[in-house]
Structure 1
Amino acid sequence: MENVSFTKMTAEVVTPICSGIECHKDAKKLQCPKCLNQGLHSYFCGQECFKRSWPIHKQLHIPPQAKKNEDGTYDPFPNFSYTGSLRAVYPLSPMRKIPEHIQKPDYAVTGTSPSEQLEARSFKIKRLNPQEIESMRTVCRLGREVLDAAAAAVRPGVTTDELDAIVHQACIERECYPSPLNYYHFPKSVCTSVNEIICHGIPDKRPLQDGDIVNLDVSVFHKGFHADLNETYYVGDKAKANPKLVCLVETTREALNAAIAAVKPGMLFKDIGNIIEKYAKSVKSHELSVIRTYCGHGVNQLFHCAPTIPHYAKNRCPGVMRPGMTFTIEPMLSLGSARDVSWPDDWTAATLSGDASAQFEHTLLVTEDGCEVLTARLPTSPGGPAPKK
């Protein structure tokens, strides 16, 4: 197990730094009793900080029923009925710190967002003014740079935790806060969803394997605004040589592009799902299903807000697109059934069938005559389409 504390050196003494969430204070003698029993070292500045940090900190503990591998890793959910071949590989690395000078969203310390909870009482869809639109352009460009930095490192043998470290550092270099970090107690800076994982996969110590697909879902917060985007990438040559995976990934990519092409003022949000499901069902070589549990959403000063945008047909999503609105479209398709199941970590969503799933996402701005893809790929962006076979 890695040491869960950070220390700072002085000329005379090594002072522990508090292991609390977004706490940079000097620690006192208070230690986690569970860590003490397991021979680990974590120090906190006080009881309140310890209680606030518990939802994240407890994930560093080794369950009593877990069996350690030779390299010290273990499955934290040995009694869980996984639906596919993927397993969680713990221990998680400690929650990464953000420098104090970087502006943070309201949930960075507590794990909950009062502003989002207040906004959830209203169905009003915000329209941004020109200054706010420029702020969204800036943060979305930074989000694209962060995603590209992580995507460039995707290869067999790299762990998703290493990708998380790349995302975290890329955010700091751009004066950004990684939006997923401690968002309702999510412990990492990016979501990494491999193979049968639909979304919200937690980066861990499992190395990527030749033949995998991995979705990197990057969100960043910069000067009061969020950007949200993701792509699915092929790991190694075997993935690109797998016709089923290529069909799944490229159809998902194309379904998103088809939906984006229809975005314009006056369009109903519910029609997005009709376009995506129609495109998915047009593929005759493989049975592809649209995941219904997770949706696109508004994004601006809030990470998630109105509208909610389902990706399946015949939904009842209210609302009409107007210039100045910013939101995501992020379809998730799977090979086989659309049903899903959550892992015991309360975040990771997997296909019930154990079949692979793919996702793509962009943040969009509705303009006077169409839309602007704020998180569009750059000429230098890694990944990109593979030819269907």
Structure 2
Amino acid sequence: MSRRFNGMIIYKTEAEIAIMKENATQVSKMLAEVAKVLKPGMTTLQIDQMCKTMILDNKGIPSFLNYNGYPYSICASVNDVVVHGFPNNVALKEGDIVSIDAGFTRNGFVGEHAYTFVLGEATPEVLQLVRVTKDSLAKGIEKAIIGNRIGDIAFAIQDYTEKKHGYGVVRELVGHGIGRRMHEDPQVPNFGKRGTGPKLKENVVLAIEPMINMGAKDVYTEDDGWTVKTRDGKPSVHFEHNVCVKKGKALILSDYSIIEAAEKTNPNLNTTY
């Protein structure tokens, strides 16, 4: 999603955080349902319709639909699509990597996060990219505690993905605060210097989302104004959690364990990474 910021960090009450956790978990449950059925031959447009139905059935609003004109309920980014991919009628195939990013709004707050799936057999290089990107999200979250700065999160992700593994860290797109609006301050880059940026205080909620390319960091946006692709055509991986800053250890509002459990039941998905 494209980002708009107003220069003000909004801190949440415990009651608001509880609502956001419910909504983020609804997204996790939805992605788990996708994990149960995803297979070669399906289309991302089918997944979009499935997710829209689940959102409405749970009395939610699809956060993405009509957001700044975005025409779908999810983003479905396949292979060299970094983020914001339009769902379409192209059949998914063995070896595809598929990032599904979805949002659920209810009771005035947004839950929004992403997960990347691997369909069937994939090269060791692709599996490593998926593993490293997912691990980098965890390393960023470790820094999302009171007293640290945004740059500490950014550095942890960049150091692990770019410096240790030689991947390209996308510069044009960043994580963000989240709350009543999908995109709030502060911006949360996946690159930066330790000890820089806004200081983290209790109960700011962040969408931390490494977008990591197998090759160079360079990307471009297609003519639809949304679909962001790697310039060198190499794969990209995207993982995202909603995270509340706390003392000592961040509170993760979304729940990958639900998705991972479902993923393991589907023989069409590769979880060996």
TM-score under structure 1 length normalisation: 0.65
Task: Tell me which protein shows more helix as a share of its residues.
Answer: 2
Per-residue CA deviation, residues 222-262 of structure 1 (Å, 9 max, x unaligned), is 110001110110012x22xx111001111000000111122
1:176 paired to 2:60: yes
**Cα pair distance change 1:231/1:379, threshold 3 Å:** closer
Tell me, yes or no, if the aligned pair for 1:196 and 1:356 is still in contact at 8 Å: yes
The DSSP-based 3-state class of the residue aligned with 2:256 is coil
Q: Secondary structure at the match of 2:23?
A: helix
Number of residue pairs matched by the alignment? 266
Deviations 1:174-213 (A, max 9, x none): 1111111000111100000000000000001011000100
| Alignment correspondent of 1:313 | 192
SS of the equivalent of 1:378 reads helix
> 8 Å contact 1:191–1:199 — kept in the other structure?
yes
Q: Assess if the C-alpha contact under 8 Å between 2:213 and 2:230 holds in 1.
A: yes
Which structure has more relative contact order (CA 8 Å, sep 6+)? It is 2
CA contact (8 A) 1:125 1:306 kept: yes
Map 1:234-253 → 2, pairs under 5 A = 234-236=118-120, 238-239=121-122, 242-253=123-134
Name 2:262's counterpart in structure 1.
382
For residues 315 and 350 of structure 1, do their structure 2 counterparts lie closer, same or farther at Cα, with a shift above 3 Å needed?
Answer: farther
In the aligned structure 2, how far is the partner of 1:354 from the partner of 1:315?
A: 31
2:244 match: 365
**Structure 1 residue 283 displacement after superposition:** 4.3
Q: Distance in 2 between matches of 1:130 and 1:250?
A: 33
Q: Partners of 2:144 and 2:35 in 1: how far apart? A: 27
* Correspondence list, 1:141-290, <5 A: 141-236=25-120, 238-239=121-122, 242-281=123-162, 283-284=164-165, 287-290=166-169
Which secondary structure state, in structure 1, belongs to the residue aligned with residue 126 of structure 2? helix
Q: Tell me the CA shift for residue 379 of structure 1.
A: 4.5
Provide the rounded CA distance (Å) in 2 between the counterparts of 1:202 and 1:341.
Answer: 15
- Which ranges in structure 1 are unaligned for 5 or more consecutive residues? 1-111
Q: Secondary structure at the match of 2:243?
A: strand
Partner secondary structure for residue 383 of structure 1: helix
Inter-partner Cα distance in structure 1 for 2:186 and 2:194:
13
CA distance in 2, matches of 1:332, 1:180: 19
Query: 2:215 matched to 1:331?
Result: no
Question: Which of 1 and 2 has greater Rg?
Answer: 1
Moved over 4 A (4+): none
1:151 CA displacement:
2.5
Alignment deviations for residues 107-138 of structure 1 (CA, whole Å, 9 cap, x no partner)? xxxxx9xxx96xx33x2211111211111121
- DSSP-derived class of the 1:270 partner: helix
CA distance, structure 2, for counterparts of residue 364 and residue 358 of structure 1: 19
Structure 2, gaps ≥5 residues long: 265-269
Distance 2:124 2:78 in 1: 17
Residues 159-183 of structure 1: CA deviation (Å, up to 9, x unaligned): 0000001110110111111111000
